Each structure stands twice: as structure tokens, then as C-alpha cells.
Structure 1
Amino acid sequence: MRSRIYGTTTLAFVAIATVASWISTSAQEDEKAIRNSESRASANASAFVFPRIKDHGKVVRLPSAAEQPRNGSKICVDVTAGGPAEAMNPAVEKVARFVNIYAGAGDKPADVSITVILHGDATLTALGAEAYATKFGLDGNPNLPLFRKLKEAGVELLVCGQAISHKGISLDDIAVDVKVAVSALTVNVNRQSDGYAFVPLH
């Protein structure tokens, strides 16, 4: 009887020790995975570059990845997304990333033509500093510095003339780096007829 109890007790201790060992090993593996993840995140963050538009639209160089940027690419970016008036429109920041992808995210730089049409909730993004300040009670339009950088990089910036008219905005209120188009419709149709890829940011 005692032998049977002793054997049962021994098995119980072995089982407990096994479970404890498994828990300890699992915890160590989890901790190692977290450290590796943090290390990869840190490495990725340090690898971000700004090949063309400085301080905006960060990218990582992937010279061996599939589907490299092609010379002669043409993109029509249809922007209707808005955002907080006091901050830069995230869609405009994304356009900077498009520029940087073609400028240096691949194995070599690739020429790209980019047209941006602002309408819908993004219409007011196109206001000049004074008009923007009056509209929102701010010091100016936080999008203007990036508009200038995008224009210098060859990006065509347009705003829908129908949208600004419906919102009661004067042509004179539009930022100098943004052109007024007859409509977003005509921009999208014309550019796609010219072979531009349609990329919506809504």
C-alpha cells in the first residue's frame, strides 16, 4: 500500500516538475520572441529613408523585392479624405510616400508622373494660408510646406473647381501651388485616358 502511495506521489511530483519546466521554457521563448520583435522594429525604424521628399513619406529600401517601381509610371491620386484642421492631411503625406517609393525604395530610382486631385472632404486642404486661417482660426494651412515640396518634386496638384464653388470658396483663396480644375471628374477621366493608374485615397 505504502509502495503504491509512494509511486503515486512520485508521479505527481514528476508531473508538476514537467509542467513547471514547460511553463518556464514557454515564458523564456515568449520573452525571446518579444525581444526579437522589438529588435526588428528598431532595425526597421532605423532603415527608413526620405529619398526625395525630406521629412515626409518615409520608406524602406527593398532592392531585392518583387514588383520594383517602373520607369514611366503614371499615377492619378484621387483625394477625398479630410482630417483635423490643425494637422496635415494624412492623404497628402501618403502622396509624399508615393514620390519617395519611386525615388529610392527599389533597386534604383524610377521616373513617375503623379497628379493629385483634391475634392470632397479634402477640398479645404487646398486653401491658402490666409483663407485657411480665417476659416479655421489657425495661424495658417499646415499642408502648404508639403505642397511646395511635392510641386518641386514634379507632382501636379489640383483642386476640384465644382467643389470649391459649392463650398463658397473664391479662386483667389486657393494656395499658389494648387491649380483649379474644372472638376475632379474631368481630371480623373482625362488622366485615365492618358494611361494614368487611378489611386483613390478616400
Structure 2
Amino acid sequence: MKSSISLVLILILIFQMKAQEWQTPAIDGYGKIKYYEDAAEQPDTSLTYKMVFDIKDEKEKDGVNVGLWKIARSLNLLKAGNISPEKIDIVAVIHGEATYLVLSNEKYQEQFKKPNPNIELLKLINEHGVKIFVCGQATASREIEKEDMNGYIQLALSALTVLPNYQLKGYALIP
């Protein structure tokens, strides 16, 4: 009898541990999440998720820019919460210290003596419909030309115009 109870308790513990493993359901390998089906607050499938990400820091998480990593995590959370891709509209603007992440692999290699660690993640989030802008004022001050940038980035006049443009269109600001 004791061994049966022990076995049941072990199986329950294993099930709970397995149910809470890290996963990346939308952006493979980036922005890992633990999904809790019984969490009190969940993504609302009736809403359209319109978000504008303000990426200005050079800080990294798991080897990539933390702002890009947050976008990947958001996409993973929304996928786990059964939000359809048609109801996800994400825009990002890169500026400040983060500006160099827009460089092509070749230009990044010239500048930092290593490949751009963000290229794969930029490709993946771009494939999920994320629009990524870079502040033209930030690129100008760092002498980055349009031809120096990777193909996943669009040049904007300024982060100071992108952010209010999208907020005034109803996008939630994600700092």
C-alpha cells in the first residue's frame, strides 16, 4: 500500500515538473516561457495584441539583445495562450545603445570582431510579422549607412516619431 501511494506521489510530482518545463512554442530557442494553464490571468483570445517595443539598451539575455528577447517571449506567451497570428501586431523601434544590433553580419564583424548574435532572432521574429524599425537619428550619429544594415530592419526618421505614431494608433508601449 505504501509503495502504491509513493508511486502515485512520484507520478504527480513528475507530471507537475513536466507541465512546467521551459518551452519556445513560437520562436524556437528564444524567449523561453513556462506556461501555466491554471494562471489567474491569461491572454484574451478576443483581443488583438497591438504592441510597440522600445529597444534602446545593449543589454543581452541568453546571448541576444534583451529587447529582441522580450519580443520572442511575448510571441511565445501569446502562442501558448492560443492567440492566433492574425491577432498579433508587433512593431519595434531600435535606438540608443541598441543601435549596433541593426548591422549586417559583415559590418558587425568589422566593428566588434564577432558575428552579429541577433541575426537569427531578427530573422525569426520578422517571419512572425514583427515590423522592426531603427531610428535614423541614431544611425546617423553612429555613422551607420543603410547599406550597413541587415535585411530585417527598416529605417525610420526617428524613434521619437515611431513611438508616438504607434501609441496614438492604439499600440501598447512595451519598454
Pair in the same fold by TM > 0.5: yes
Separation of aligned partners in 2, 1:101 and 1:52: 8
Shift of 1:154: 1.1
In angstroms, what is the RMSD of aligned CA positions? Answer: 2.0
Shift of 1:60: 1.7
Shift of 1:97: 0.2
Whether 1:78 aligns to 2:79 is no
The one-letter amino acid paired with 2:25 is P
Provide closer, same or farther for how the CA distance between residues 120 and 168 of structure 1 changes in structure 2, counting only shifts above 3 A: same
Shift of 1:171: 1.0
Q: Deviations over 1:98-154 (max 9, x none)?
A: 1111111x3x2342211111000000011111111111112x211000000000011
Q: Counterpart in 2 of 1:47?
A: 21
Question: Over alpha carbons, which structure has the higher Rg?
Answer: 1
Secondary structure of 2:64's partner?
coil
Structure 2 portions without partners, runs of 5+: 1-12
Identity of aligned residues (%): 34
The one-letter amino acid paired with 1:167 is R
Q: Counterpart in 2 of 1:95?
A: 71
- State whether residues 54 and 67 of structure 2, in contact with CA within 8 Å, keep that contact through their aligned partners in structure 1: no
- Larger helix fraction of residues: 1
Secondary structure of 1:117's partner?
strand
The one-letter amino acid paired with 1:79 is I
The one-letter amino acid paired with 1:112 is I
Whether 1:66 aligns to 2:40 is yes
Pairing partner for 1:179 from 150, 154, 160: 154
Whether 1:120 aligns to 2:116 is no
Structure 1 portions without partners, runs of 5+: 1-38
TM-score (norm 2): 0.82
Separation of aligned partners in 2, 1:65 and 1:131: 44
Shift of 1:59: 1.1
